[in-house]
Amino acid sequence: MIEDMLRTPAAVRDAERHTAHNYHPLPVVISSAEGAWVTDVDGRRYLDCLAGYSALNFGHRHPTLIAAAHAQLDRLTLTSRAFVHDQFADFCRELAALCGKDLVLPMNTGAEAVETGIKVARKWGYQVKGVPDGQATIVVADGNFHGRTTTIVSFSTDEDARADFGPYTPGFRIVPYGDLAALAEAVDEHTVAVLLEPIQGEQGVVVPPEGYLAGVRRLCDERTVLFIADEIQSGLGRTGATFACEQEGVVPDMYLLGKALGGGIVPVSAVAADAAVLGVLRPGQHGSTFGGNPLACAVATEVVRLLATGEFQRRSTELGERLHAGLRALIGKGLVAVRGRGLWVGLDIDPTLMSGREACERLMERGVLAKDTHGSTIRLAPPLVITEEEIDHAVAQLTAVLAG
């Protein structure tokens, strides 16, 4: 009888009836949110421990970001890049300063940022490095996740993302993640870039061996190759630093940014690099109607200003230590491994107990939202506004799930 009164089952069925099945969401239908919490159509609250794959680093409806969006909505929302608007310069200047780079190229989605990085690297290779036309290669890592466009899935090793979408785009070499020797062997005179995630999120929050990123930086310097860091999930405070590359004192030639840059309000992505790299582009060679629009710039500028305070990086570091400690205590009690940095954790559940999907369903029943990936692995990436008490609550719910 109670089930008949709930709105969730009908809403889930209706969504499945009218939507292409490119996702397999948990059966929760969210209608409102605030901070680290969401509420479904039946009034049940859940602690959000996914945060939109880092798109909600600052939580749901952060008041500073909502205020910026409201103010801009009353003035100007879109001009296209055919004109200059009054929010554009501030955003580009302040993001470039945050990255320590000369220039910024704004786009919308993370995949667009990756595609932009690929195009810029190839053009740089032909115009600056002198690679023969049409022969540029980019080295990537297995287990990567950079998006799902046809070019990007061409160098994916995830068959779910790749299968049946060929013919595939050439020009990429795949090497084992974390293996410097294999990387060095793959880089040759035609290599224009090495494209890597400093931490592989979709693969299960896989942290590379200590010294790996520094070794990549050295190799790229020695071979005149661009180091492109995909910080779309790992960046903007998630790991306890503004960028995950900072954990090894590494500065890439190009940052690919997205997700959290939009403050959980609008899609915003960007490529940041010095003029010697991004300066190869000329008018008409790359663009986007909505890239760098006034509403996006107004929100993203406030995101950059929040990051400039260092508060969220500190929260990720301090609260991440609490989260990791609580989870490590569960190794041997249902967990077989815990890894990650800051408020970003990959958990491997004993596969004899349950799958990752089943664990997330059971967590949902206990009021905690998380996401599975690759079998018995789940990811936790709560908003950086989460509290100590909320972290303890999430760990307690996972403990109960693992105990059966």
| Burial state string for 212-231 with b = 16 or more CB within 10 A and e = fewer than 16 | bbebbbebbeeeebbbbbbb
Please compute the mean of the pLDDT values over residues 8-24 and round it to a whole number. Answer: 93
Q: Which of 58, 91, 145, 172 is catalytic?
A: 145
Confidence check: pLDDT of 139 > 50: yes
Q: How far apart are CA 382 and CA 388, in angstroms?
A: 12
DSSP for 181-246 reads HHHHHH--TTEEEEEE-SSBTTTTSBPPPTTHHHHHHHHHHHHT-EEEEE-TTTTTTTTSSSSGGG
Q: How far apart are CA 373 and CA 368, in angstroms?
A: 16
Instruction: Decide: 301 and 91 in contact? Cβ < 8 Å.
Output: yes
Q: What's 144's DSSP letter?
A: -
Q: Which of 123, 259, 312, 372 is catalytic?
A: 259
- For domain 76-308, give the fold: Aspartate Aminotransferase; domain 2 (3.40.640)
Q: How far apart are CA 96 and CA 73, in angstroms?
A: 25
CATH class of 2-61+311-403: alpha beta
> Residue 1 has what pLDDT?
44
Instruction: Decide: 294 and 139 in contact? Cβ < 8 Å.
Output: no
Could you tell me the residue ranges of all domains in the chain? 2-61+311-403, 76-308
> Residue 377 has what pLDDT?
98
The tens digit of pLDDT for each residue in 196-225 reads 999 999 999 999 999 999 999 999 999 999
Q: Is 259 annotated in the active site? A: yes
Residues facing residue 331 across a β-bridge: 335
**Alpha helices in 224-332, H assignment, sequence order:** 275-278, 294-308, 311-328
The tens digit of pLDDT for each residue in 48-86 reads 999 999 999 999 999 999 999 999 999 999 999 999 999
The pTM assigned to this predicted structure is 0.97
Please say whether the dihedral angle defined by the alpha carbons of residues 163, 165, 166 and 168, taken in this order, is positive or negative. Answer: negative
Q: Which of 58, 123, 129, 230 is catalytic?
A: 230
* Collapsed DSSP state (helix, strand, coil) of residue 74: coil
Q: How far apart are CA 111 and CA 248, in angstroms?
A: 25
Q: Is 371 annotated in the active site? A: no
* Collapsed DSSP state (helix, strand, coil) of residue 371: strand
Q: Is 230 annotated in the active site? A: yes
The tens digit of pLDDT for each residue in 148-197 reads 999 999 999 999 999 999 999 999 999 999 999 999 999 999 999 999 99
The tens digit of pLDDT for each residue in 346-402 reads 999 999 999 999 999 999 999 999 999 989 999 999 999 999 999 999 999 999 999
Instruction: Decide: 364 and 400 in contact? Cβ < 8 Å.
Output: no
